[in-house]
Structure 1
Amino acid sequence: MDINKKYLTLLAKEYPTIGETTTEIINLEAIMNLPKGTEHFLSDIHGEYDAFQHVLRNGSGNIKEKINEIFIDRLSQKEMKMLATLIYYPEEKIRNILEDFDNQTEIDEWYRITLSRLIELCVFVASKYTRSKVRKALPNEFAYIIEELLSKDNSFANKEDYYSKIIQSILSLDRAPEFITAISYLIQRLVVDHLHVVGDIYDRGPYPDKIMDTLIDHHSVDIQWGNHDILWMGAASGSAVCIANVLRISARYDNLEIIEDAYGISLRQLLTFAEMTYPEDYAHGFYPKIDAERSDFYEEEIRQITKMHQAIAVIQFKLEGVIIKRQPDFKLEHRMVLDMIDYEKGTITIKGKSYPLTNTYFPTIDPADPYKLSKEEEFIVDKLVYAFKHSERLQKHISYLYNKGHMYLKYNDNLLFHGCVPLNEDGSFMELQIRDKQYKGKALLDKFEEILRKGYLTRNKENKEKHLDLIWYLWTGPASSLFGKDQMTTFERYYIEDKETHVEKKNAYYSMRNDVATCEKILVEFGLDPAKGHIINGHTPVKEKRGEDPIKAEGRMLVIDGGFSKAYQDTTGLAGYTLLYNSYGMQLVSHQPFTSLKNAVENEFDIMSTRRVVDRELDRKKVRETDIGRRLTKQVTDLKELLEAYQNGEILEQPRK
């Protein structure tokens, strides 16, 4: 009772009178009866900024749906298409449209019509929120004007001249383009209440840094870490082996500009070393993957990238071997690949079978001690670790990933994680020993998250390797929920032609996730109701053209790899999936590839999207039934206790002065 009295006394400081307490109870009860806000789920963005921006701006087709709801009987398909493009890209589209007009009169008329349509649409998308929430979303420059226009009531004519004068003033002051832009971005913001990014922002595509800047500015977002994200998180924490992997992948996909230009990390020492150490004649297998659409590259640049690619790959294999020897609990001895090489014969023996190497040039490897870095390699690694830990922009982005991210998330009865919950072949949860204790299921993912956070927090302290080694294990280990395979055959793909050595067997989770009982077991493990919960994954591209279905286990599991990475689109047959969850239920949205910003603006080319209903709510879902609603219900209960304490004289009112 004493603790409760203290709590109510503290609460009374925020609500010091019966009137204020009653008002807040009424406010919260009203909010809980509003429709549930729309959640937007994206995954596997992989640095493809333009495609990500487009899906974010159009809300996976949500804006076009709203336009259709309002204007289907009043506007042509061409007019609705133009309005949608204007909302997605207001600055660019306004410039494009104005080129077609001959005089200011025509321009002003277009402004009037467009403003009227945008205001009507904005009123519609804002109608499911409180005025307070809408007010907080308003752009500062036009907040008062937009709020006034959104409150317009066409059933009364008393203020018609007032509203007309607002529009006329916007035009006469030459502020129409800025106003249209502001209200377009407001519509974008209001059609999606909350964004979930289910992993893999980094690698392959050219602009993960721009994606991170966009997410930092987003009004409401959470992130579930992907395997490529934790590689960068480990690199920023000072893990040399994670840095080597980051550089190798960036070189492989011709994206080293991310390292140098976006994050200001010099690769001069690595380039100099690679030029001096690896001749062109021995570069087999390290030529980078070049975007077929790209023309702005030079052969000399590609030659340099190829050499750096080879140099950093060898450094990576050395660093991995050191960790495997240091961490016997990882049980990765079978990945000590440099021990398996016969350096005189130019062969490697794997599982008792000998294979010829396609590249036998290893100038920095001592066969007697193959995992020892040369002095030059050690110097380069030390420089890179310092540079990654002291890149201001990288640290800003990775800090945000830690602040907004988790290994998994329970949100509105759904379980979100990027990869898998590792399973044995019999369907039991796979165990991993970490410092004399076994972990599995939810406890394993919790432990992984603890290790990731400690690795970053202790990045400037001694003995940090025990955390950093485990971050690398998350990238490549059999019991990693983010990797989900028995081994990573990176060396084999570079050095062995026989593809039987390239095989990476997927964890049993990926065959069992079609089973209803398995999905229900996982939901129960994480404390969710299997009757109404879903598992939402990314990580594995859905090969639609081979007949694979992203909806699995009778709807218990949804795989939404966004397919943004161009490298996968030939395999999958489309650009992937996103998910919308609004008050009417869940809709899975499949997308065709995004072409270009220019095509989207000038030709009004939108990503072609197809929707499939996953779950339809029998009754429209309200805020009361969400996680936010459960928190608000608790607040109402507390406020009612405070009100009773006021009424009983246990706590005295303290009116504000």
Structure 2
Amino acid sequence: MSKQYDMESDKHYLQLLSQSFPTVADASTEIINLQAILNLPKGTEHFLADLHGEYEAFQHVLKNASGNIKRKVNELFGTTLRDSEKRELCTLIYYPEQKLELVKDSEPDIDDWYHITLHHLVAVCRDVSSKYTRSKVRKSLPADFSYIIQELLHERTDDNDKAAYVNVIVDTIISTGRADDFIIAISHVIQRLAIDQLHILGDIYDRGPGAHKILDMLDGYHHWDITWGNHDILWMGAAAGNDACISSVVRLSLRYANLATLEEGYGINLLPLATFAMDVYGDDPCKEFQPKITAGSERLDDKTKRLTALMHKAISVIQFKLEAQLYERHPDWKMQDREMFNFVDFEKQTICLDGKEYPMTSCHFPTIDPKHPNKLSAEEAELVDKLHHSFSVSEKLHKHIRMLLSHGCMYGICNNNLLYHASVPLNADGTLKEVEIYPGHKSSGMQLMLDVGHIIRLAFQTDAAPEMKKYAIDYFMYLWLGPNSPLFDKAKMTTFERYFIEAKETYEEKKGNYFRLRDNEEVCDRIMDTFGVTGNNRHIINGHVPVKVGKGETPIKANGKLMVIDGGFSQAYHKETGIAGYTLVYHSRGFQLVQHEPFTSTEDAILRGTDIKSTIQIVEMSARRMLVNDTDKGVELRGQISDLEELLYAYHHGFINERERKK
């Protein structure tokens, strides 16, 4: 009786399901298919954090699957190919279009090279596709070569008859002039199948020159998600129209002599800023505003460095004023102590902080009225309006921000792993800290992350209440540098002090309790409990604070329960970390942390076959090979199987009639 009652209550849903599976045979076949998928090895997940615009290194890590393709080539051809030949094959897989041009210029017998290379590529593709269903592999194949690749992947060359069949296919690809197109197509398939899912733990933006290129690349990527970082949030705030965020974005770009993303990527017009800076600060040496020396700024001539410094100071002064205006508008943030110009004695050229007076390294502020130090001059206000307009009309910027919104969130839970960029605010005793999001509303832990995510999205919704939307737009600045922001979690951001005060004691940015307690297993368990993360092998994975490997710091904390995977992708951090980034790889046998050495360049990789040198650290291995059944996908598939079994019951007992198949 209860089963019949359930059928009646679910009848509408089952009728909808029957449109996809109109007969007993269709439903049964799908159950068989899903049961088979459950028993395949789990797909390989890659976790990366803090990319900071390093497009070439990021692109290479995706192309070589964090060194996994090179390892597979070594396993397949360890004794049959020379090291140089394996290196050439790897380069071809990573950069097929460019490498083919070089090969055709230098190879004396190109048809023979094609024949050998096609067989090698098919062997690699067969290996990386072995853990997937034929259906999934088929969906990854380019339409032009789908049938041919399927035939080559599923025929064995150790059978003489089949070997002849395969050879004829290969010969025909070459004789019809399709070898180049085929090599490019199958190389891209190998790259795609080597990484099943990509997780980015925040901070695509700032420092390096290629954030826009990273997002262009992700736009066509098969399966990725992101937990937003503080630098991403800063750019999202700029796109939403927060003028303090806009000025901060411009300031950071000038600080690292990285204008490519702003000007070339998003078409932001910085000419008004340059003109303003030369007019107002032309006689200022701006020593403290020289760009940081990176690979990009080394190529700047003296004139460009000088102009960059002038623009840097001009936008910094504007930023500090705009920040102060926000702190005044939102006293509940309790950040009035960061209205820095309020504490400057412009006559004595000193600043009073925490009851102590410090000399200013420079007190040349021609746009500041000491009686109203946080008010923009008329010229500054006009410049801010122009920058605001430039950000508001950048189509590509808004497209990329929409991508971050559609693929991202403040936290993620995937296969018993809790992902977030920086922290979960904690009290001194390790309990979850209640944080005021807006006046009268406090939350902590998972609810805090949900509330913050809701406010972020409000800033981009056309139907949001005007006052709430205005607050949401302002709130991006708090998320960027607020003491209780889960994306910052420090007492203060001492940018002003580093520019204008020589005493290094003022530079301290005291980290929140999370960073002091994250090596404590009990604290990590408490955090995972509040987010509902279960399982014997559950983990927290985050980035944000570079791991100083060169000084002996380990990324594995709390006895393996927490992993910090910010290894310093950004060139600006290489000296600090001693390495050039991490990839955390989670495959069917467990976790491996791949530590990367600096990447030279794409050109070097193509011409000389250089690769990112990577060292593997075993983090945690499973006692048995994990299957799809053990993953979140397995939970989803088991639910689908249950629904299909209910549909079969409905068919067999006449609650729903089978449909005629559509022709």
- Mapped to 2, the partners of 1:625 and 1:435 lie a distance apart of 43
Q: 1:373 to 1:295 in 2, by over 3 A?
A: closer
Superposition map of 1:231-630 within 5 A:
231-292=234-295, 296-433=299-436, 434-458=438-462, 462-463=466-467, 464-529=469-534, 531-630=536-635
Secondary structure, counterpart of 2:599 in structure 1: coil
Match of 1:132 in 2: 135
CA shift, 1:68, in A, is 2.3
SS at the partner of 2:106? coil
* Alignment-mate amino acid for residue 50 of structure 2: D
Matches within 5 A, 1:142-157: 142-157=145-160
Q: Is the 8 A contact 1:198 1:417 kept in 2?
A: yes
CA contact (8 A) 2:200 2:226 kept: yes
Q: Which amino acid aligns with 2:83?
A: Q
- Given the alignment, which residue of 2, 6, 9 partners 1:3? 9
Counterparts in 2 of 1:510 and 1:641: CA distance versus 1, 3 Å: same
Which AA in structure 1 matches 2:550?
K
Question: Structure 1 residues 550-559 or 291-300, which shifts more?
Answer: 291-300
- Once the two structures are overlaid, the 10-residue window that deviates more, 255-264 or 479-488, is 255-264
Partner SS for 1:338? helix
For residues 361 and 345 of structure 1, the distance between their equivalents in structure 2, rounded to whole angstroms, comes to 12
Q: Deviations over 1:184-214 (max 9, x none)?
A: 1111111110101111100000111100001
Greater shift in the superposed pair: 271-280 or 550-559: 271-280
The amino acid that maps onto 2:440 is D
Cα distance in 2 between the residues matched to 1:266 and 1:281: 23
Shift of 1:334: 1.4
Q: Say which SS state the counterpart of residue 122 (structure 2) adopts.
A: helix
| Among 208, 215, 220, the residue aligned to 2:211 | 208
Q: Distance in 2 between matches of 1:342 and 1:232?
A: 33
Could you tell me how far apart the structure 1 residues matched to 2:463 and 2:209 are? 27
- Distance in 2 (alpha carbons) for counterparts of 1:393 and 1:322: 29
Match of residue 30, structure 2, among 24, 27, 39: 24
Residue 177 of structure 1 deviates from its aligned partner by: 2.1
Whether the aligned pair in 2 keeps the contact of 1:524 and 1:530 (CA below 8 Å) is no
CA contact (8 A) 1:431 1:439 kept: yes
| 1:71 CA displacement | 1.8
Tell me how far 1:144 sits from its aligned partner.
2.2
Q: For 2:229 and 2:337, locate their aligned partners in 1 and report how far apart those are by CA, in whole Å.
A: 25
Return the offset for 1:632: 0.6
Which residue in the other structure is 2:59 paired with?
Answer: 53
Comparing 238-247 and 290-299, the one that deviates more: 290-299
Structure 1 residue 148: deviation in Å? 1.8
Q: What CA deviation, in whole Å up to 9, does each residue of 1:118-145 have, x standing for no partner?
A: 1011111111111111111112232222
> CA deviation digits over 1:364-401, x for unaligned, max 9?
11111111111111111122222212100111111101
The letter of the residue matching 1:84 is: C
CA distance in 2 between partners of 1:324 and 1:458 (Å): 26
Count of residues in correspondence between the two structures: 654
Alpha-carbon distance between aligned partners in 2 of 1:603 and 1:228, rounded to the nearest angstrom: 35
- In 2, distance between residues paired with 1:180 and 1:86? 8
CA–CA separation in structure 2 for the residues paired with 1:225 and 1:295: 31
Contact (CA 8 Å) 2:434, 2:442: kept in 1 or not? Answer: yes
Matched-pair identity in %: 50
Paired amino acid for 1:630: V
Cα distance in 2 between the residues matched to 1:561 and 1:80: 30
Pairwise CA distance, 1:290:
3.5
Instruction: Give the deviation of 1:462 after TM superposition.
Output: 4.5
* Post-superposition offset of 1:65: 1.7
Q: Which stretch of the first structure deviates more once superposed, 189-198 or 139-148?
A: 139-148
- 351 and 295 in structure 1: CA distance in 2 versus 1, 3 angstrom threshold: closer
1:38 has 2:44 as partner: yes
What amino acid maps onto 2:34 in structure 1? L
Please report the RMSD computed on the Cα atoms of aligned residues, expressed in angstroms: 1.6
- Aligned with 1:369: secondary structure? coil
Q: Distance in 2 between matches of 1:125 and 1:578?
A: 19
Q: Give the TM-score of the pair, scaled to structure 1.
A: 0.97
Whole-angstrom distance in 2 between the partners of 1:530 and 1:348: 53
Contact 1:282 1:359 in 2 (8 A): no
Displacement after TM superposition at 1:292 (Å): 4.5
CA shift at 1:49, angstroms? 0.7
Change beyond 3 A, Cα 1:483–1:530: farther
Q: Which amino acid aligns with 1:260?
A: E
Maintained 8 Å contact 1:541/1:572: yes
C-alpha deviations, 1:78-117, integer Å up to 9, x for none?
Answer: 322222122111222223333433x3xx221111111111
Residue of structure 2 in register with 1:86 after alignment: 92
Instruction: Indicate the residue corresponding to 2:3 in structure 1.
Output: none
- Is the Cα–Cα contact under 8 Å of residues 431 and 479 in structure 1 kept in the other structure? no
CA–CA separation in structure 2 for the residues paired with 1:453 and 1:632: 30
Q: CA deviation at 1:603?
A: 2.1
Matched to 1:624, the amino acid is N
Q: Indicate if the aligned counterparts of 1:282 and 1:361 stay in contact, CA closer than 8 A.
A: no
Q: Deviations over 1:39-94 (max 9, x none)?
A: 01111110011111111111111111211222223223332222212211122222
Q: Residue 219 in 1 paired to residue 225 in 2?
A: no
From the superposition, tell whether residues 582 and 94 of structure 1 become closer, same or farther in structure 2 (CA, over 3 Å).
same
Deviations 1:238-277 (A, max 9, x none): 1111101000000101112321221112122222211111
Contact preservation (8 Å) 2:257, 2:308: yes
1:639 aligned onto 2:632? no
Counterpart amino acid of 1:64? K
- CA drift of 1:293 comes to 6.4
Are the counterparts in 2 of residues 46 and 203 from structure 1 also a CA contact under 8 Å?
Answer: yes
The 10-residue stretch of structure 1 (68-77 or 16-25) with the greater mean CA deviation from structure 2:
68-77
Deviation at 1:155, TM superposition (A): 4.5
CA distance in 1, matches of 2:260, 2:304: 12
Instruction: Provide structure 2 residue ranges, at least 5 long, that are not aligned to the other structure.
Output: 1-5
- Mean Cα deviation higher: 47-56 or 592-601: 592-601
Hey, what does 1:165 align to over in structure 2? 168
Confirm or deny: 8 A CA contact 1:254 1:289 kept in the other structure: yes
Moved more, 231-240 or 304-313: 304-313
After TM superposition, give the deviation of residue 461 of structure 1 in Å: 8.1
- Contact kept? 2:343, 2:353, Cα under 8 Å: yes
TM-superposed CA distance for 1:296, in Å, is: 4.3
